[in-house]
Structure 1
Amino acid sequence: MTGERRVEAVVFDYGGVLTGPVRDSIGAWLKADGIEPASFSRTLKAWLSRDAPDSTPIHRLETGKLSAEEFEDLLAAELATVDGGVVNPAGLLGRLFAGMRPDMAMFALAEDLRRLGVKMALLSNSWGNTYPRERIDALFDPVVISGEVGLRKPLAPIYELTLDRLDLPAERAVFVDDAAPNVLGARAVGMRALLHTDAAGTRTALADLIPDLAQLPLSARTQH
């Protein structure tokens, strides 16, 4: 870290970082509902890729301009089933996220960082899904949810809002996300950013930036 400014905050994404991979939950939903995977992939690309036009249904959902129910109707209309049936829009997002489970190793990492005096923040794009607010509010401050602030990753304003709430310059914060565009968005505003793949790799990468993390006794890492 010679010549680098000290890291004072770590900002975590939620889905796919503090939980298991989102793709696993999506895969289970596609199978359970008999959805043709290609129809979902095609819609996701059209609505979420870097080349997607502004204000797609996903963009509007993430910024709170489209309700979950309205989005479910739009998404269901784009999907096909393997048996040619109609996709039921009611509760579709709930089924899509039903397989999401907390990654206890990542929550332990967040708790260890907080114990070291590092500021902890959460920055998440919402798809109308619910968050374990009691748990995350106790661990993260600020908690920035796209649908609540009307902004979304990977656009600069939501990172800048998070930094403003942390009261820190960008170079003092590290952002952790499982989506490469969001990592690039954070770097574009001057934050250091890590692409998350698993808890062990993220802990190691953060320990390179926050040496005290590597010095924690083993018990502090496992008693969670």
Structure 2
Amino acid sequence: MTTDRAIDTVVYDFGNVLVHWDPRPAFAHLAPAVVDRFFTEVDFTAFNHHQDAGRSLEDGRAALADVDPRWAGMLDAYLDGYPRTLTGLVEGSAELVGELKGRGLRLYGLTNWWAQTFHHAEALVPAVGLMDGVVVSGRESLAKPDPAIFRLLADRFAVDPRRAVFVDDSAPNVEAAAAVGFRAVHFTTTADFRRALRDLGVPVEHETR
């Protein structure tokens, strides 16, 4: 299948698309049962989203203490152990980003990430350095799937969503991007993303290298 508008841009989510992320290794020094209780009691998924959306560390620490004072120190433990949460590059991701760059496509990042921890991605994920620009949710006080953050990226970097592919491992984020006009792809593996790109008329190789 080809589209009526040639794709000239690919917009990447980062976590679990370029690099695997798992928050639990940050707490490797604690008993698993303690970590499980912490994640459940504070609803870590919701807590993380608030931090992704730009909540300050001070307010985040206060939110943990409001649930239970014993959890307030867990934020510092998470920050100290953060490099361990990036558990490895997604297979084939770096090669595909390099190929797209070599083919002259514009590459951007649109990632839900804490402002205070994004420097770890910049240091540990080489593909991040190949992006022509990156929107980090924590720096903008906006987070996916809010449509406003997709529009912010499009405006800031003069991206025409109709000529751009957005890829993310989160189905709600993919749906939000599609609603804004992007050609949105739900990421499962790099090989499947390659196939999706070819279906959209982007001439990438059939196999990861």
TM-score category by the smaller chain? Answer: 0.7 to 0.9
2:24/2:35 contact within 8 Å kept: no
- By relative contact order (CA 8 Å, sep 6+), the higher-ranking structure is 2
**In the alignment, is residue 15 of structure 1 matched against residue 12 of structure 2?**
no
Aligned counterpart in structure 2 of residue 126 of structure 1, from 93, 102, 113: 113
**In the alignment, is residue 149 of structure 1 matched against residue 140 of structure 2?**
yes
Rate the CA distance shift 1:96–1:214 in 2: closer, same or farther, 3 A. Answer: same
Count of aligned positions? 201
**In the alignment, is residue 105 of structure 1 matched against residue 92 of structure 2?**
yes
Deviation larger for 103-112 or 26-35: 26-35
AA matched with 2:85: G
Rate the CA distance shift 1:28–1:212 in 2: closer, same or farther, 3 A. Answer: same
Find the residue that maps to 1:152 and give its secondary structure: coil
1:125/1:146 contact within 8 Å kept: yes
TM-score by length of 2: 0.79
Rate the CA distance shift 1:192–1:105 in 2: closer, same or farther, 3 A. Answer: same
Alpha-carbon shift at residue 160 of structure 1 (Å): 0.7
Alpha-carbon shift at residue 72 of structure 1 (Å): 4.3
Rate the CA distance shift 1:78–1:199 in 2: closer, same or farther, 3 A. Answer: farther
- What is the root-mean-square deviation in Å for CA atoms of aligned residues? 3.0
Aligned counterpart in structure 2 of residue 74 of structure 1, from 63, 81, 94: 63
- Whole-angstrom distance in 1 between the partners of 2:90 and 2:136: 19
Q: Which runs of 5+ in 1 are unaligned?
A: 49-56
For 1:61, the equivalent position in structure 2 comes to 51
2:5/2:162 contact within 8 Å kept: yes
- Whole-angstrom distance in 1 between the partners of 2:93 and 2:191: 9
Aligned counterpart in structure 2 of residue 199 of structure 1, from 190, 197, 209: 190
AA matched with 2:89: P
Rate the CA distance shift 1:130–1:187 in 2: closer, same or farther, 3 A. Answer: same
Find the residue that maps to 2:162 and give its secondary structure: helix
2:7/2:165 contact within 8 Å kept: yes
For 1:92, the equivalent position in structure 2 comes to 78
1:39/1:79 contact within 8 Å kept: no
- Whole-angstrom distance in 2 between the partners of 1:198 and 1:73: 38
Can you list the C-alpha shifts for 1:27-53, whole angstroms capped at 9, x where unaligned?
A: 4446642234265146437x63xxxxx
Find the residue that maps to 2:19 and give its secondary structure: coil
2:16/2:169 contact within 8 Å kept: yes
For 2:161, the equivalent position in structure 1 comes to 170
2:64/2:71 contact within 8 Å kept: no
More strand by share: 2
For 2:199, the equivalent position in structure 1 comes to 208
- Whole-angstrom distance in 1 between the partners of 2:183 and 2:154: 12
